[in-house]
Chain A
Amino acid sequence: MSLDFNLGAFNDYFRNETFRDDFTYANSPAGIRRFPFPFDRDDYMYSVNMEPHVPGRKGSVFEHAFDVDEHYVSEMIDRAKVLASDPLRCQSLPHMTLAGWDLLELIMEAKARDYPQWFTLTKDGNRWHWINRPLGIDHHFTFLDDSTLPYGPFEYITRQTQGDFTLQDERDNDLWMDAGMVTSQADWSLDFDIGMSFMEWHAPVPLAHEKGIFDRALKFLLKLQHGAPVRRFNWTMTVNPLLDTAPETYPVWGPTKTSLTPENLGQKQHLRVELQALFRLPRSNAIAFSIRCYLGRFEELVTIPKWGRRLHRVIRDINPDVAAYKGFLRNRDAMVAWLAGYDDGAPTSPGFWPED
């Protein structure tokens, strides 16, 4: 049994691109328009920004529970490479296997329902048949029987799903990060955080603790119900379209922050947006957290005039503690100077949609 990809199908839709070395990643014009621009106003501060994860506008990244886009195949190849060089990027404590099956079921059912042209799931009792055409996978397995899959259920399904995932066990009125697949993270480490509680893994975040954001968020999540998922945005900045900005490899990618010049900034600097969703899982009572990363090159984003203006204002006025935590304080002034060329001072409309 293996999970080798047999690529080739749908090459006209899925881009063949890299997130390392020559960095050929880019968004198509349609990809730019559906980019989840995270700012609904001209300024930014941490808040308890959670809302029901219900289907959103057609064609948007909110249309489906798990968005599959033009980068799908290349992202899965990149994940496999990261795991080959560092297997600890995927870990699941022994009591989390059932939660892994819950997540596998949630994702397979959602993808087969929302993207029938790419994914098919047929069930005969617990004998399941899964077809993933873009990756060329066709497997028969027994639901809830680990021995019938080439990996544990959590690793199996997250090797086929864009975005990082963590699974939180709920105990003692708290959430514990007891499993994770983390290869496209904004500079945090699963190997360091695994087994931690909600407040422990959030300890490094500035300002939000004092504002009571984490107290409220935790209380809200402890009441999260099966069938009623929620979502929120987070964002940061990344030089080059590098998905895997891990603390473990900081010596490799950290220094690229010093490579920006006024000439290359629009091309190298990326806004990194995380669309995060939280799902209560049925059998395990655990909570799945998906962290889907979207990378948008500055040059791409400013093709939407409203976003160019707004990004300039948000970055110009950002709290320096937030910029320092997110790791772009040293380049903030250079970004603002570059973005100023796309801000004519005109007012922006509320909300994040490009056209409104």
Chain B
Amino acid sequence: MSGGAKLKVRVAEVVNVNDMIKRFRFVSLDGSPMPAFSGGAHTVVEMDDDGVRRLNPYSLMSDPEDRSAYEISVRRDDAGRGGSLFMHRHVTPGLQMEISYPVNLFPLDTRARKHLMIAGGIGITPFLAQIAQLTHFGGRFELHYAARSQALGAYMDRLTAAHPAQVHCYFDDQGQVIDLARVLSMQPIGTHLYVCGPKGMIAWVLSTATSLGWPEKALHHEEFLAPGTGMPFQVDLAATGKTITVGTNQSLLEAMEAAGVDAPYLCRGGACGQCETNVIACDGAILHRDHWLTADEHAAGRKIMPCVSRFEGKSLTIDR
């Protein structure tokens, strides 16, 4: 359960959207329908990059009601950690991959009277799915979408064709800038604001809205969680006298179970406290990821929750 529920998929199609962006289409390996999802959700794509395991979150951009496939768009980031380069260079039709069930950290507030969306560049992707969802189930929206140039304005054509009155496009190379203060001042009461794009844009939109008196709870921005796994590490188990290696792909609890150690657990999500284990020796840093131990206990480093927490450093000995 360390990474949550997974979907086994096959890459059905890769499309060059423009110089920077490729679109990937995933279908389920066994042909069953993909789970429905909510607009704004992302999936975490697992990549095996020559032995290095990468976990990158990408917003689902396809229509949430289309159960035949999921689509994501990936912008090549030549300076990034390599996930997007791997997707661009090595992911081709036919490849089998594992992706997470959809997780939504950027949902629409369904009570909103109107949804005001601000997108920058590749930040358009969650809005594509949200707009599809609003089109099915009703709901007013207005989209302001800025791209570097017309050529890099992915999906602008389809958006303006389908929703000419609601979609407004801006191009940096033509010196066009969203007149944010004006846009914000013209919204009906009960409007919720959503922004997804480069960090600077998010900060600008949120601070402008806040200074104009928009309520905090009406402001939403896309934010990805750090993936729950990490580097492999070794652990000495004092009570059973074993030494185990925890792979990138498993939790410490799972590694103990694989080694035949009968360790207690219940929730497997860092909440119930059942798996709490004493740390006997630690030369390095425990990466605490639970909600069970207090901040003081985290700092003291004398306890670890093996269902979610990890370790980085020279050596760790725990009481199991």
Contacts and interface: CB of A to CB of B under 8 A. Distances in A.
B272 interface: yes
B107 to A, nearest CB: 5
B159 interface: no
B101 interface: yes
B272 A49 contact: yes
A197 interface: no
A67 B102 CA distance: 27
A70 interface: no
Give the one of B109, B270, B272 with max A CB within 10 A. B272
A282 B272 contact: no
Given A50-B266, A171-B109, A285-B38, A219 B291 contact: yes
A67 B110 CA distance: 31
A227 B43 CA distance: 13
Contacts of B100: 225
B4 A228 contact: yes
A51 B267 contact: yes
A284 B130 CA distance: 11
B271 A95 contact: no
A158 to B, nearest CB: 20
Contacts, number: 94
A172 interface: yes
B271 A216 contact: yes
A282 B35 contact: yes
A282 B36 contact: yes
Contacts of B35: 226-227, 282
Interface in A44-68: 47-52
A228 B271 CA distance: 15
Given A50-B266, A98-B137, A172-B217, A228 B272 contact: no
B135 to A, nearest CB: 13
Contacts of B268: 51-52
Interface in B165-221: 217
Nearest to B136: A144
Contacts of B58: none
A226 B271 contact: no
A169 interface: yes
B271 A217 contact: yes
Interface residues of B, dominant DSSP:
loop
B271 A51 contact: no
Contacts of B104: 285
Nearest to A97: B137
Contacts of A48: 266-267, 271-273, 292
Contacts of B107: 170, 285
Nearest to B103: A225
A98 B217 CA distance: 22
A128 interface: no
A220 B38 contact: no
Contact of B269 (A95, A215, A223): A223
Interface string B277-320: 00000000000000110000000000000000000000000000
A275 interface: no
Contact of B102 (A50, A170, A230, A282): A282
A216 B103 CA distance: 20
Contacts of A219: 271, 291
B24 interface: no
Contact of B267 (A102, A220, A227): A220
Contacts of B57: none
A215 B136 CA distance: 36
B159 to A, nearest CB: 22
B137 to A, nearest CB: 6
Interface string A169-180: 111100000000
A217 B292 CA distance: 10
A285 to B, nearest CB: 4
B1 A95 contact: no
B5 interface: yes
A102 B110 CA distance: 15
A228 B266 contact: no
B100 to A, nearest CB: 8
Contact of B110 (A98, A144, A225): A98
A284 B37 contact: no
Contacts of A225: 4-5, 100-101, 103
A283 B266 contact: no
A50 B38 contact: no
Contact of A284 (B101, B103, B110, B291): B110
Contacts of B126: none
B64 interface: yes
Nearest to A51: B266
Contacts of B110: 95-96, 98, 169, 284
- What are the 6 tightest A-B residue pairs by CB atom distance, in nearest-first order? A227-B5, A220-B271, A95-B110, A282-B36, A285-B38, A48-B272
19 contacts: A47-B272, A48-B292, A49-B272, A50-B269, A98-B110, A105-B36, A170-B107, A216-B272, A216-B291, A220-B271, A220-B272, A223-B269, A226-B102, A228-B101, A282-B35, A283-B37, A285-B38, A285-B40, A285-B41
Interface of A: 47-52, 95-96, 98, 102, 105, 144, 169-172, 215-217, 219-220, 223, 225-228, 230, 282-285
Interface of B: 1, 4-5, 35-38, 40-41, 64-65, 100-104, 107, 109-111, 133, 136-137, 217, 266-273, 291-292
Given A50-B266, A98-B110, A282-B37, 19 more contacts: A48-B266, A48-B292, A49-B266, A50-B267, A51-B268, A52-B268, A95-B110, A95-B111, A144-B137, A220-B271, A225-B103, A226-B5, A227-B4, A227-B5, A228-B1, A228-B4, A282-B64, A284-B110, A285-B41
